[in-house]
Copies of this chain bind each other. A is one copy, B any other.
Amino acid sequence: MEFTHPISSYQYDSSVTCTSTRQESVSQKLFIIRCFHPFAVRSPRISIDTINPKVLSCECAFPGEIAVHAEHLQHIIRINPSTLPFDEIINCNIGNPHSLGQQPITFFREVLSLCNYPGLLDKEEIRGLYSSDSIGRAKGILSSISERATWTYTQTRALRAAIAEGIENRDGFPANFEDIFLTDGTSPGVHMMMQLVISNDRDGILCPVPYCPLYSASIALHGGALVPYYLNEETGWGLEISELRLRLETAFAAGINVRALVIINPGNPTGQVLSELNQQEIVQFCRDEHLLLLADEVYQENIYADNKFFTSFKKIARSMGYTDRDLSLVSFHSISKGYYGECGQRGGYMEVTGLDKHIKKQIIKMTSISRCSNLTGQILMSLVMNPPKVGDGSYVLYAKERDEILSSLGRRVKMFVEALNKLEGVTCNEAEGALYLFPRIELPKEALRAARSVRMEGDTFYSRQLLDTTGIVVLPGSDFGQVPGTCHFRITICPPEEKVPEVLVKLANFHRRFMREFGG
């Protein structure tokens, strides 16, 4: 049995069993040591100077200083609103649809309600309260969970099978429930994969710039090197293989051992949707360079451009004739985005393919250390991958709710993009998908000087001023990475459609004043 990490001198001591005679002799030995080193057995108390430097170095935009300040202002609104030039905080900083009033899908919540209180299933009265297919679905799910009322530590086999079935229906290629790992949202899965592939600070992960801060934070937390590749803003945030290759070669030349490539499709914060041709190039690149492809596909239902559609990387690879032997691929999905937006329920999965059984065993071990993900999230994830079908009692309502949300998001994208591009010095690419826009701002020299004077990045300064003037919360581009010398901010399209015009007017008025004040 192993007590410690291999530290020979220490293992010697720890292998000693604690017989009293041995205790005395050890104590005596140490007593002498302590005479020479009186503080030998005092560790410094836990303080900011003595904690894991990886934790310190890790930067996370959630909550970044802007979001923290927004919370502070929210508090002021509650206790002393008259002191602020606005009466509400409008959270356009993260993709958290329900926080801006998006309503949940009725069918999903009916099933969760029944699963949580199975006693209801025996009662006649529920027929008037729940749709017939939600009752059937809840019975089916509960019967697949050991005892129906009892929720145990489990990576529920039946729910993983349902998710695999949903993937098969989506891709037209087989999916295996044993490849499905259920997670509390996407983040734990990303952390797990980073922990798996990063041994030290010479292990690199190719990551898009701009990126989703989850990736930069997770790579830093696990002590790896973020190897940036730039998306090309001029071509609508295009992903160019030449850029990937350049960055890979540059990294290798610098002694960085690049292990994996992160692709976010549809893109966060950029909203671009990759073409199949582009995806094929990426798959080929990963195969040739032996890179693990980490495909963040959580926005797969959020597509707005008429000529674009989502194709999973697994479907692309299989269509190219590549099997598990050719490509290591992890696809991340969650219940937090799409038309459902159930951020608070924390459900997600990774589909792990092209990693051998020894690695799978390690992943099973890592998931098992935290027992399992929450069963509500597991159930919801299985529902999202198997929603009501035509003919099901709930289908009409379900489809209506889904389509209203998605078509409204599409209209909101257009409203935002059009308004943003009208602003002086602002250029904004159309978002083909996801929940964000990432407009670029040419800030006046005066504004940049003012920002430096308060030790802020230019876009942080702009975002802070926007918040203090209008209550609108956006995140500065510097939280996501951007070409040095450029300024952006990320804004979500999640505000309710009827509220968007008001948000855009507030934003435009602020921008005009800001540019005037700083002589843009």
Stretch of A42-50, A266-274, A511-519 lying at the B interface: A42-50
Which residues of A in the span 357-402 have a Cβ within 8 Å of any Cβ on B? 358-359, 362, 364-366, 368-377
Asked if A106 and B129 sit within 8 Å, CB to CB, the answer is no
Interface readout for A58-87 with B: 1 if CB under 8 Å, 0 if not?
A: 111011000000000000000000000000
One of B46, B230, B328 near A292 (C-beta < 8 A): B46
Enumerate chain B residues within 8 angstroms of A433, measured Cβ to Cβ.
none
Using known A-B contacts A51-B362, A196-B51, A376-B374, determine if residue A328 contacts B45 with beta carbons closer than 8 Å: yes
Shortest A500–chain B CB gap in Å is: 18
Which residues of A in the span 83-141 have a Cβ within 8 Å of any Cβ on B? 94, 96, 98-99, 101-104, 106, 109-110, 112-114, 116-120, 123, 125-126, 128-129
Say yes or no for A478: interface residue by CB 8 A criterion. yes
Say yes or no for A250: interface residue by CB 8 A criterion. yes
Asked if B147 and A10 sit within 8 Å, CB to CB, the answer is no
Asked if A345 and B365 sit within 8 Å, CB to CB, the answer is no
Stretch of A150-158, A302-310, A411-419, A465-473 lying at the B interface: A150-158
Asked if A199 and B359 sit within 8 Å, CB to CB, the answer is no
Shortest A138–chain B CB gap in Å is: 11
Enumerate chain B residues within 8 angstroms of A1, measured Cβ to Cβ.
457, 478, 481-482, 484
A110 to B145: give the CA distance in the assembly, Å.
19
Which residues of A in the span 236-293 have a Cβ within 8 Å of any Cβ on B? 242-243, 246, 248-260, 289-292
Asked if A151 and B113 sit within 8 Å, CB to CB, the answer is no
Asked if B52 and A196 sit within 8 Å, CB to CB, the answer is yes
Using known A-B contacts A184-B346, A343-B151, A369-B58, determine if residue A47 contacts B356 with beta carbons closer than 8 Å: yes
Asked if B343 and A243 sit within 8 Å, CB to CB, the answer is no
Copies in the complex: 2
Q: Give the total of A residues in contact with B, Cβ under 8 Å.
A: 157
One of B45, B246, B370, B375 near A18 (C-beta < 8 A): B246
Asked if B43 and A291 sit within 8 Å, CB to CB, the answer is yes
Shortest A456–chain B CB gap in Å is: 13
Enumerate chain B residues within 8 angstroms of A252, measured Cβ to Cβ.
30, 40-41, 43
Which residues of A in the span 176-221 have a Cβ within 8 Å of any Cβ on B? 184-185, 187-188, 191, 195-199, 201-202, 204, 209, 214, 217-218, 220-221
Asked if B358 and A373 sit within 8 Å, CB to CB, the answer is no
Shortest A337–chain B CB gap in Å is: 12
Which residues of A in the span 1-51 have a Cβ within 8 Å of any Cβ on B? 1-7, 9-10, 12-18, 23, 26-27, 29-30, 33-34, 40-48, 50-51
Say yes or no for A355: interface residue by CB 8 A criterion. yes
Interface readout for A456-496 with B: 1 if CB under 8 Å, 0 if not?
A: 01000000000000000000001001111100000000000
Using known A-B contacts A13-B253, A199-B52, determine if residue A289 contacts B366 with beta carbons closer than 8 Å: no
Say yes or no for A174: interface residue by CB 8 A criterion. no
Say yes or no for A320: interface residue by CB 8 A criterion. no
Enumerate chain B residues within 8 angstroms of A62, measured Cβ to Cβ.
153, 368-369, 371
A117 to B138: give the CA distance in the assembly, Å.
14
A250 to B17: give the CA distance in the assembly, Å.
12
Say yes or no for A228: interface residue by CB 8 A criterion. yes
Enumerate chain B residues within 8 angstroms of A481, measured Cβ to Cβ.
1, 3
Query: Which one of A48, A94, A457 has the highest number of Cβ atoms from chain B below 10 Å of its Cβ?
Result: A48
Using known A-B contacts A5-B224, A42-B290, A483-B17, determine if residue A113 contacts B104 with beta carbons closer than 8 Å: no
One of B60, B104, B226, B483 near A150 (C-beta < 8 A): B104
Say yes or no for A505: interface residue by CB 8 A criterion. no
Shortest A257–chain B CB gap in Å is: 5
Query: Which one of A23, A33, A56, A116 has the highest number of Cβ atoms from chain B below 10 Å of its Cβ?
Result: A116
Using known A-B contacts A9-B255, A13-B253, A99-B146, determine if residue A117 contacts B125 with beta carbons closer than 8 Å: no
Enumerate chain B residues within 8 angstroms of A149, measured Cβ to Cβ.
98, 103-104, 109
Asked if B374 and A374 sit within 8 Å, CB to CB, the answer is yes
Asked if A9 and B191 sit within 8 Å, CB to CB, the answer is no
In the complex, residue of chain B having the shortest beta-carbon distance to the beta carbon of A228: B3
Closest 7 CB pairs of A and B: A151-B344, A98-B150, A113-B117, A10-B254, A346-B374, A344-B375, A99-B152
New contact pairs (4) apart from A113-B116, A113-B120, A187-B371, CB-CB < 8 Å = A4-B226, A13-B251, A17-B484, A50-B259
Listed A/B pairs (16) with beta-carbon separation below 8 Å: A1-B457, A2-B57, A5-B220, A5-B226, A12-B254, A14-B251, A18-B243, A42-B290, A45-B328, A46-B197, A53-B199, A98-B152, A109-B116, A109-B117, A112-B117, A151-B343
